[in-house]
Structures are given as structure tokens and as C-alpha cells.
Amino acid sequence: MTTTVITNIASLVTNDPTLGDGSPLGLVQDAALVLDGDRVVWAGPAAQAPAADQRVDAAGRAVIPGFVDSHSHLVFAGDRTAEFNARMSGQAYKAGGIRTTVAATRAATDAELSANVARYLEEALRQGTTTFETKSGYGLTVEDEARALRIAAEHTDEVTYLGAHIVSPDYADDPAGYVDLVTGAMLDACAPYARWVDVFCEKGAFDGDQARAILTAGKAKGLLPRVHANQLSYGPGVQLAVELDAASADHCTHLTDADVDALASGNTVATLLPGAEFSTRAEWPDARRLLDAGVTVALSTDCNPGSSFTSSVPFCIALAVRDMHMTPDEALWSATAGGAAALRRTDVGRLTPGTRADLTFLAAPSHVHLAYRPGVPLVSEVWRRGVRVA
Ligand code: NIG
Ligand code: FE
């Protein structure tokens, strides 16, 4: 393998608190990073960097771990411009809009769906995302859910079965029948393609008992649970997620003290998705309350055509800092190491010996500029597994 030293890094975020300033970000000023093929083998002050076969000059830019976007819904067709327009004219967000995307997705060919996933992934990559999760949930038949997951698996290992996004319109009069399908034939067809099982636990989607049945059935098939929880209203989702040791409870917008206590006591990451609150004009999740209680927080895009049509983690970081009162350090950690925790991964989201060489260069001296200079395309270079890809 060829070794590469990247030097002249103004500030390096390692997310290894044993390095640099000893903060959770493990921030090293005037840093170097050494890669061996697709792995990081050394990180630290440039003055102490070991020799390598080749040298790359970061020219005073900041280097951060590639973003880990642990929540997106990319297998879909069409868009919902009219719905967004109506919302910005005062209409409330309703999960029922999902049906519009279900119809467009069912009508699309495999090639169209795959091209869409590739297109949004390319967008995300150019904005610094090197690991992403994506879900089904716009098919809602055995065939359409399985095909969505098969297509997702062509693009990522982090694939989530969300047959329980809403009750399929085909089962409008028989929601119990739909839960039987999601926990039966649909699960059988989907499990081979997926790592995770998810459910939208919300009024108008699935209640606590239905969500428990769906997640438990998925677990029995070897899938690991994650939950769309407490997005539009208070409810049982967060506590169910902790009880079932879900990797992540996502949204967490409406939380009781008992919900926060449950998250603080368990292994479930709270994934915050401020693109959704931005695009639905909803109230912001209380990130400070979660962080101050010691909850592990991830920050992701929720990229989907209804509630959050952004693939940009930098945009979400800016929102998290400005509107959810996270510090720039907390937001950066949550979008990298936090996302990795939400996917139960230790090989990504950090730049320390042994981790994957997934790195994002910023045209700025530090990661703070991601929030300080919102909307500015600061991602100047992206490497995945030691290879420059954007
Ligand atoms: O995470 N909440 C459920 N699902 C998506 C929205 C999907 C849609 O509106 O199409 C979300 O926000
Ligand atoms: Fe979502």
C-alpha cells in the first residue's frame, strides 16, 4: 500500500479526545494526517508527522471526518413542490403527503429510481457526506418495498426497511391487515436487503402497539431497530426505541421529561433532523435539553421530497447552531461521530489510527465556518477510503 501524508492542515477534527486539545472533537491545530491505502494510520501535529511515500499539501484548509448522514429517504420519484408552496402559504405539514410520493414511486422504473438515488448521493458527496443510510417507505407493497431496498443496497450498506411509513392506501380500511403484511410477507421479502427496521410511530401512521409488533418482528429476522419518534406530537416512540435498544430515535421534536430520561439512561442515540423543522415551519427540537441531560445526539438531513428536501449536512449544521442552540463543536461532532453512533459504527466519523480514510476538506481555517458562513459552499475536496472522490 502507498502511504500518504496530508500536511499543512490548519485544524484537524479527529473526534478522538486523546488527541489534540482533549475536547470531544480532538482538535489538532497545524496538523498532519497519514493514510495507508484506505485507512488512517496517524493523526497529530504536523511537526511530528512520520514520513510517507507521498505528500499532499492541505494549504491551510481545515480537515474534518466525512459526514455520516444516518437518516435519509432517497428511493423515491417525483417531488412535492406544490405541497411545499402550500405550506409556505400557511398550510400545516401532514404525513398524508407521503401518498403522493408513493404513487410516483410505484410508477417509476428501477432505472429511474436508481438514477435518483445516485443523483442525491452525488449532491451529498459534493457537500462532504461519505457515509449515508437510506430507507424504503414509498412503495408499501411487497414488490415495491423489496425493490426499493434492492436499489438502495446498490448504493449503500446502511439500508433500512420502512414498510411501516404509513398504512398503505391499499389497506385504508384494514390497518391491522397492513401490519400483518409488514410483519409477514413484506418483511420476508425485504429482510435480505436491509440492516435496519424502522417505523413511523405517530398519530395517523402507527401507534405504540403496532410499532412494537413491527420492530419486534424485524428483530426476529435479524434487523436492528430504529424509530421515527415524536416528530409531530408527543407519543410512545422514544420510550419504545429505548426499551427495544434501538440504535436511534429520530426527530425527537416533542419530548416529555420521561422521554429525555429514557434516552439519557439507554444506548439509543437521539437523531435530530432540523431540515424537517425548517421545511415544515415546525418548532425546533430542544437540542440543549438533550445534550445537557447527557444524551448522545446525531444530526442528519432526513433528505426526502416531503418534509426535508435537502441533502446538505452543512445546512443542517448551520440550523442546529443558529436555531437549536448547539455549539459549532457539538454540531460538527453530531454530524460525524454522532451519525456513526446512530449507525452503531466505529470505523467512520472519526480520523484516528484504524478508521476509514473518509475526509472532507473545507475552504476555511476551521469547522466553525460551517455555521459562521451559512449557505457558502465551503466543502472543497472529499476523500473516501483514501481516494479523492469530489
Ligand atoms: O422523516 N416522518 C416520516 N417520514 C418523513 C417524511 C416523509 C414525507 O413527507 O414524504 C420524515 O420526515
Ligand atoms: Fe425520516
* Count of domains for the chain: 2
pLDDT tens-digit map of 33-54: 999 999 999 999 999 999 999 9
What spacing in Å lies between the alpha carbon of 303 and ligand 2's midpoint?
A: 7
- Known binding residue 325? Answer is no
Task: Mark whether 324 and 296 lie in a shared domain.
Answer: yes
pLDDT tens-digit map of 239-284: 999 999 999 999 999 999 999 999 999 999 999 999 999 999 999 9
Ligand nearest to the CA of 97: 1
- Known binding residue 188? Answer is no
Q: Is the pLDDT reported for residue 187 higher than 80?
A: yes
pLDDT tens-digit map of 17-29: 999 999 999 999 9
Which residue is associated with the grid cell 423515491? 76
The response to whether residue 277 sits with its C-beta less than 6 Å from ligand 1 reads: no
Q: Is the pLDDT reported for residue 96 higher than 90?
A: no
Q: Which domain range does residue 14 map to?
A: 3-66+350-388
CATH code at position 39: 2.30.40.10
Q: DSSP character for 324?
A: S
- Known binding residue 304? Answer is yes
Task: Mark whether 152 and 205 lie in a shared domain.
Answer: yes
Ligand nearest to the CA of 104: 1
Q: Radius of gyration (Cα) for the chain, nearest Å?
A: 21
By the 8 A CB rule, do 195 and 158 touch?
A: yes
With the most atoms of ligand 1 within 8 angstroms of its CB, the residue from 73, 202, 248, 279 to mutate is 73
Q: DSSP character for 93?
A: P
Q: Is the pLDDT reported for residue 94 higher than 90?
A: no
Task: Mark whether 175 and 324 lie in a shared domain.
Answer: yes
Task: Mark whether 7 and 80 lie in a shared domain.
Answer: no
Task: Mark whether 373 and 338 lie in a shared domain.
Answer: no
Alpha carbon 316 to its chain centroid, in Å, reads: 11
ipTM: 0.95
- Distance between CA atoms of 214 and 389, rounded to whole angstroms? 38
Nearest Cα to 313, choosing from 115, 141, 146, 67?
67
Looking at residue 93, its pLDDT comes to 83
Q: What are phi and psi of 276, to 5 degrees?
A: -70, -45
Ligand nearest to the CA of 95: 1
- Distance between CA atoms of 273 and 311, rounded to whole angstroms? 11
Which atom of ligand 1 lies closest to the CA of 98?
Answer: 10
The response to whether residue 276 sits with its C-beta less than 6 Å from ligand 1 reads: yes
Looking at residue 215, its pLDDT comes to 99
Q: Which residues pair with 40 in a beta bridge?
A: 35
Task: Mark whether 120 and 26 lie in a shared domain.
Answer: no
Q: Which residues of 260-297 are buried (b: 16+ CB within 10 A; e: fewer)?
A: bebbbebebbbbbbbbbbbbbebebbbbeebbeeebbb
Mean pLDDT of the chain: 97
What spacing in Å lies between the alpha carbon of 207 and ligand 2's midpoint?
A: 17
pTM score: 0.98
Task: Mark whether 82 and 40 lie in a shared domain.
Answer: no
Task: Mark whether 54 and 75 lie in a shared domain.
Answer: no
CATH code at position 219: 3.20.20.140
- Other CB atoms within 10 A of residue 156 CB: 18
The response to whether residue 131 sits with its C-beta less than 6 Å from ligand 1 reads: no
Task: Mark whether 166 and 284 lie in a shared domain.
Answer: yes
What is the rounded average pLDDT of the residues 330-343? 99
- Distance between CA atoms of 205 and 92, rounded to whole angstroms? 16
Which atom of ligand 1 lies closest to the CA of 250?
Answer: 1
pLDDT tens-digit map of 153-180: 999 999 999 999 999 999 999 999 999 9
Task: Mark whether 280 and 356 lie in a shared domain.
Answer: no
Cβ partners under 8 Å of residue 374, min gap 6:
315, 318, 322
